[in-house]
Structure formats: C-alpha cells, structure tokens
Structure 1
Amino acid sequence: MKNLWLDVGNTRLKYWITENHQILEQVAEMHLQSPADLLLGLIQHFKSLDLDCVGISSVQDQKNNERIIQILQLLDIPISFAQVHAEYAGLICGYDQIEQLGIDRWLQVLAVAKAEQDLCVISCGTALTIDLTQGLQHLGGYIVPNLYLQRDSLIQNTKGIKIPDVAFAELSPGRNTIDAVHHGIFLGLLSTIRQVMQQAPRKLILTGGDAALFAHHLTEFEPHIEPDLLLKGLQFYIEKQII
C-alpha cells in the first residue's frame, strides 16, 4: 500500500509518502497560517501517486480542519484523523480531560512508549513540550515558549534592542545585549529540562528542529534524537486501527 502521512502543525506542514513501510518522499514546508492553501497546491501531485489512504495529525482549529478534509476528499481515498484516546495500544493518557492534550504530543509519546521504560519526551518545535511516562502511563508534562518565541517576546517589549537570527550555541555570560539575551534564554530552557530530568531516572528523547542543539548541551543524560517522531507515531496509530 502507498500511503500519505500528514503532520499539520502551527507553522509547518510535513508529510511522508510511504510504500510497504519505506519512505518514498518526505517534505516539510512553512504554511504561513494557511495549511489548506498549501495542501491545495500539492493535491495534483498527490493524485498522481495513486495513493491508498491518508493519515492526518492536525493541531489546527475546526474551520481549518474542515477545509483540509474538503481538499483531501479530492483524492477519493480513505482519510483518517488521529485523536487522543484515554487509552490506546496500552498507553494511558495522563490528562483528566483528554481533549486538552495536543495530538502532536500524544502521537510523539505513542511512538516511543514502552512498558519497561520511563521516558522524558521533548519536542523542540514552536513550543518546547515535555511529556513524561512511567511505563505505558503518560504522566502529563510541561509546555514553555521555545527559543525564538522568548526572544521575539523580549524584542517586542524592550525598546531599542534589535536581535538578529543567530545560533543559540553558547552558554557563557553575554558581553553584549545580543549574546546576553540568546545565552540567557537557552540557559533557562536547559535548566528547565535538567530540573525535570532530576525528578526521577528517565530516558531522554528529543525530537524537532532544535533537537541536536539541545542534545549537544545535555550529554550527561545521553539523549536520544528521534527525527520525525510525530509522523512515526501517526503511522503506528493508523496501522493499529487497520490490524
């Protein structure tokens, strides 16, 4: 079977095309707050691939999701939206109100949760999300603004400071305003992660665009980087329904 796996995030649309568990195509594009329009531009390409089904993870609101469905219906193949469950494939959701847990976080945990392991799963994306597991029990987690959201917030509220897009690579005390801001934000996020990891022994798993950057400074925890963890979780989620 040839399938399309879609991850519609807050700022990007990512997809895989797979056939017999082999990735034939993988793409990530900024959707500029209009994922449906981006998808409409891709629909003819998807039609040419003779796909069998579509699996979707979307953090968009109902209006955007309805537009996404309308566009995908042009493919005339089954469409499955992933949803958070109180229990799925043995994994128990840690939220009292499961609808409040983002599907992106749920699928990332679902992709790696194991009965014999306690995990700290961190997504270094638009927000820095931290989810904890004890075996197959999801314990909940934390959400904090990522590096760039914190920096942009400071820029907006600090008159006269212009901070360019430079790497958050150093942790030494800044000797100018630009370095002080970047190093301070990064140090704060790393300190948050260390505090969480000190609560109990856990395997640290990082995913998202800045995973390698964080891993470089968290070597004491032997972090494991899992690229495209959400899409792996989505694939597992849908295939579990088919079996």
Structure 2
Amino acid sequence: MKNLWLDIGNTRLKYWITEHDQTIDYLAELHLQSPADLLLGLLKYLKKQHIEHIGISSVLDAQNNTQIAKTLQQLNCPIVFAQVEQECAGLRCGYDVPSQLGIDRWLQMLAIAEPQKNYCIVGCGTALTIDLVENMQHLGGYILPNLYLQRDALIQNTKGIKIPDSAFQILTPGENTIDCVHHGILLGLVSSVEKVMQHKPHQQLILTGGDATLFAQHLFNFNPTIVPDLLLKGLKSYIDSTT
C-alpha cells in the first residue's frame, strides 16, 4: 500500500511516498505561494505511483487547502487534512483555542508524546518553536524568529556585506560586527532552550528540523535526541488514530 504524505508550510512543500512504512521517495521544494500549481506539475508522476491514501499537514488558509484538495482529487483516493483537536490519541492540547495552535507543532508532539514521560520538543525550522509535554498534556510553548530571520532583520539595511555560511557555527565572542551579529543570535536562541530545560530538568530534549544538528552541538549537556521527519511520524499517528 502506497501513501502520500504532504507537509505544506508557508513557503515550502515537502512530500513523502511510503510503502509498507518505508519511505521510497521524498521531495522538498519552494511552492512560491502556489502549492496547488506545484502539485499539478507533479500529478503525472504521482498517478504512476498508484497512491492509495493521502495525509496532509497544511498551515495555509481554507482557500488554498480547497485548491490543493481539488488538485489531488485527480489521484482518486481518500484525502485527510490533519487538524489540531482538544485531544488526539491521548495527547491533550494546551491551547484555550486548539485551532490557533500550528498543525506542525501539534503533529510533532503527537509523534513523540508518551504516558508518564516529559518532553521539550524544539522545532528548528523557519521559526524556532519550543513545546512542553508532560504525561500527554501539552503545557504550551514558545515561538522565536529563527537564525536567519533575526539576521535578516538586523542587516536588512546594511549593504555590501557578504554573510559566510559558517557564521552560525560557534558561540565565542565575535571580533568583528558580522561575527558579533551571528554569534549573538545563536547565543540568544541556544540560551532560550537552555533556560527552558533548566526550569524543568527532568524532561527529554527532542530536536527536529533543518538546524537540529547545529543546535544539538551547543545543547550537548542536555543529551538531545535528533528526530528527522518528526512531523511525518506525527501525521501517520494522526491518521492511524482518526481512521
């Protein structure tokens, strides 16, 4: 049985095709604010895969999601959009209004939460998200601009500065303005996670997202676990619990 799993963010679309719980294809592309058009271009290939079920995590609005569903209906199989609920598979949402919680954060928690265990789940993506879960209860969390959003905000009016790719690797004091900016941003985000971990020292630190490896290097004292494709695992859990 082949399944198609979609993670549709504000700027990027990711898909996985799985067969017997094994990933056999993966793609991540910018969708340029038009994910339905990107999917339309992929339809010929997807039809050849004989997809039997589609699960979707989308942070987009209802209009975009309707267009996405309309496009994918050409694959002639069931389509399920994951939604944040007050409770799912035993995990209880910590928001007063569950629909205001990002579906990506909800699925990441759903993927990892277990009874009698405490977690700090850090998503190192477009935003740095921190969510706390104790014994299947979401306690809320934090959202911070990521490394690159903070850098762009600081240097957007500065011309003629080349930004080295390795600038975010270390935390030592910078010896020029560019290093001070980069090291300072990284220090601020690492310190935020450290503060949360120190406040609740018995929780397990879970890192996911594109910059997880970078943050793990600076949070080694907390023995972090990097879990790639955590959202995919959560999306599978959601589908299993609601179908």
CA distances 1:15-63 after superposition (whole Å, capped 9, x unpaired): 1111111111122112222222211111111111111110000011122
* Matched letter for residue 92 of structure 2: I
* Contact 1:203 1:223 (8 Å CA) reproduced: yes
Consecutive unaligned residues of structure 2, counting only runs of 5 or more, are none
Residues 161, 177 of structure 1: alpha-carbon distance in 2 compared, 3 angstrom cutoff: farther
d(CA) in 2 for partners of 1:159, 1:4: 43
CA distances 1:45-90 after superposition (whole Å, capped 9, x unpaired): 1111111110000011122111111111111111000000101110
Is the partner of 1:60 in helix, strand or coil? coil
* Matched letter for residue 215 of structure 1: A
Is the partner of 2:172 in helix, strand or coil? coil
Q: What residue in structure 1 maps to residue 141 of structure 2? A: 141
TM score, norm. by length of structure 1: 0.96
What are the residue-to-residue correspondences of 1:47-86 with 2, within 5 Å?
Answer: 47-86=47-86
Root-mean-square deviation over aligned CA pairs: 1.2
Is the partner of 1:130 in helix, strand or coil? strand
* Matched letter for residue 144 of structure 1: L
d(CA) in 1 for partners of 2:7, 2:75: 17
d(CA) in 2 for partners of 1:82, 1:182: 36
Query: Alignment identity in percent?
Result: 61
d(CA) in 2 for partners of 1:165, 1:173: 16
CA distances 1:141-163 after superposition (whole Å, capped 9, x unpaired): 0000000000011112x444735
Residues 17, 169 of structure 1: alpha-carbon distance in 2 compared, 3 angstrom cutoff: same
* Contact 1:155 1:161 (8 Å CA) reproduced: no
* Contact 1:10 1:126 (8 Å CA) reproduced: no
Q: What residue in structure 2 maps to residue 232 of structure 1? A: 233
* Contact 2:88 2:241 (8 Å CA) reproduced: no
d(CA) in 2 for partners of 1:194, 1:163: 30
Q: What residue in structure 1 maps to residue 154 of structure 2? A: 154
Is the partner of 1:192 in helix, strand or coil? helix
Greater alpha carbon shift after TM alignment, 43-52 vs 209-218: 43-52
Residues 165, 83 of structure 1: alpha-carbon distance in 2 compared, 3 angstrom cutoff: farther
* Matched letter for residue 210 of structure 1: D
* Contact 1:155 1:163 (8 Å CA) reproduced: no
| Alpha-carbon offset, residue 192 of structure 1 | 0.4
Is the partner of 2:165 in helix, strand or coil? coil
Consecutive unaligned residues of structure 1, counting only runs of 5 or more, are none
* Contact 2:2 2:20 (8 Å CA) reproduced: yes
d(CA) in 2 for partners of 1:74, 1:196: 46
TM score, norm. by length of structure 2: 0.96
Q: What residue in structure 1 maps to residue 224 of structure 2? A: 223
* Contact 2:205 2:224 (8 Å CA) reproduced: yes
d(CA) in 2 for partners of 1:163, 1:198: 36
* Contact 2:6 2:55 (8 Å CA) reproduced: yes
* Contact 1:119 1:204 (8 Å CA) reproduced: yes
Say yes or no: does 1:97 pair with 2:80: no
* Contact 1:133 1:139 (8 Å CA) reproduced: yes
d(CA) in 1 for partners of 2:173, 2:9: 34
Is the partner of 1:198 in helix, strand or coil? helix
Is the partner of 2:116 in helix, strand or coil? coil
| Alpha-carbon offset, residue 165 of structure 1 | 4.8
